[in-house]
Structure 1
């Protein structure tokens, strides 16, 4: 029997940078997080390839090879910057209603359950407890308490068809997007293509785009100001500015 122990010490170190969200969480958090859609090619044979296949989009490249693309709504924040809901005491200010990705930590529902072992190894600077004093959370490649993991996994499966249709249509009809995706698949390490979250909403007639835009635009403007003049986060700054401009058309209607 193999066992791994883990407990959170609330150091806040994992609350920095990009945060995957569900579609529903992104819509609820338009007033809170700078939203984007991240599209990441999955390399064949990569850990988690089996699980990722059921929640990803599939496109045929010019080479005639098929590529799997993981499509994820995200709070798009530089790795050097904290989540806007991380309080001064390093505790989550929305703990009761925090995203399921945060609840499921350290486990990762985008990967197979039997490939979670490395998720229990704290990254440099993280103060997670993994000693004999911590509870057993992973035994024989099985998650001991899998409630949050299953909640996240089920949410990913439910939203997958809509995200899949969206990206496959973009790849077919948007040459700029398809060119960026092809480049990402050819990178030695998996690349990532980031597009505006609102692009996913344009085809959903049930959503009030004007209401979404009014909530989201001030957030993007705030992050554009935070990242202005910093060359290390220039990619993020450019994205925020472009996303703000993209939302103008809905607010001015």
Structure 2
């Protein structure tokens, strides 16, 4: 493991204020230009199957299109899928009833991977403008996702 990634969770917790300040003041165009390469670089070094903290501790939003696609793939009525797996959160979004995600296997593979919610497909948003537009979400994600931590550390050292 690279020096950058040693004790990454502790370092991320210590650097939350620095990350916030950087994301609020960074040159948006430079950040957006750097993201695709840094995203790829992060996932060359980090294997989600080693971690799956996102699936173990948090829930994506299940949008209407996700519910339709997943319930069809599972051969369930949408209402039964919702009743079985989902609940409404404080913001009115459908999320999983329990953590870890009911579709996460013991091997950290997703049983609905091909039909997973769009939030799961896009996570951890390190190759799109969400990293700048939703700073509180980026900060939260950096506390449990090594890829977000990696991208933020690289951004801070390469973008001035």
TM range (shorter): 0.3 to 0.5
Greater relative contact order structure (CA < 8 Å, 6+ sep): 2
Which of the pair has more CA radius of gyration?
1
Q: TM-score scaled by structure 2?
A: 0.46
* Structure with a larger share of its residues in strand: 1
Q: TM-score scaled by structure 1?
A: 0.31
* Structure with a larger share of its residues in helix: 2
